Amino acid sequence: MSNLLQLTPVSCALPQGETRLVTLAATPDGHLYVAEEPTVSLHIAVSCLVQPAAGDRVRVIADGNAYWVLDLLLCADPGRALAIQTAHDSLHIDASTLTLRAQQTMTLEAPALSLISRTGNWIAERLNQIAEKVQVRCKSSERLVSEIESIEAGHISHTAKTSYRIDGELTSLNGRTVLKIDGGQVHVG
């Protein structure tokens, strides 16, 4: 995505390498330019990760026949969502500790998402999972439910290689049409 204004290049009013504060404007098709010098080309520097918009106050540096936006200083619309964009294929953030915090909602959206960690905790008052298929592989699994666990399925198949145990103070097995118990030995009572 290029924010370069496609006009005949005109030299900047600023000497080469000098910086100043300017207000940005945009053409009807969204290309940004310096409001005070609409005929000068404008580029967004890689270091300016927060994408500026029309009306914003920015710091620019003169580079020949163009200005480069270095920083976004004041957002004209404080209600707009700030966008971090890069023309590179990826963006990496490395730190010993990283915290992302939102007062209301946080959304992670991607065609593919990987979470890789040695340990992980999900803590929530309510957790909803919706998926076409859920597959879990682990060495051992334990689930503690203090009140009710309910499973509704078209078919349920449990297989244990060595032993399978159902235990409860009151236990009920109910087959509406057939209840089959099959074993080399069947002990009742």
Q: Quick one: pLDDT at residue 8?
A: 44
Q: Quick one: pLDDT at residue 187?
A: 86
Q: Which residues of the chain have pLDDT under 70?
A: 1-14
**72 within some domain:** yes
DSSP per position, 102-138: -SS------SS-----SS-----S------S------
The size of the chain, in residues, is 189
Report the number of distinct structural domains present in the chain.
1
**108 within some domain:** no
Instruction: State the maximum Cα–Cα separation within the chain, in Å, rounded to a whole number.
Output: 98
**75 within some domain:** yes
Sequence-distant (6+) residues with CB within 8 A of 47 are: 70, 71
Q: Quick one: pLDDT at residue 10?
A: 52
Specify the pairing of strand 66-74 against strand 57-63.
antiparallel
**19 within some domain:** yes
**74 within some domain:** yes
The label of the residue with tokens 């004041």 reads 74
The label of the residue with tokens 């099959």 reads 182
Give residue 19's domain range. Answer: 1-81
**33 within some domain:** yes
- Assigned token pair, 120: 């992980």
- Assigned token pair, 100: 């992302």
Q: Quick one: pLDDT at residue 18?
A: 87
**132 within some domain:** no
**60 within some domain:** yes
CA 184, 141, 154: angle at the middle one, nearest 5? 65
The CATH code of the domain that includes 70 is: 2.40.50
Task: State if pTM tops 0.75.
Answer: no
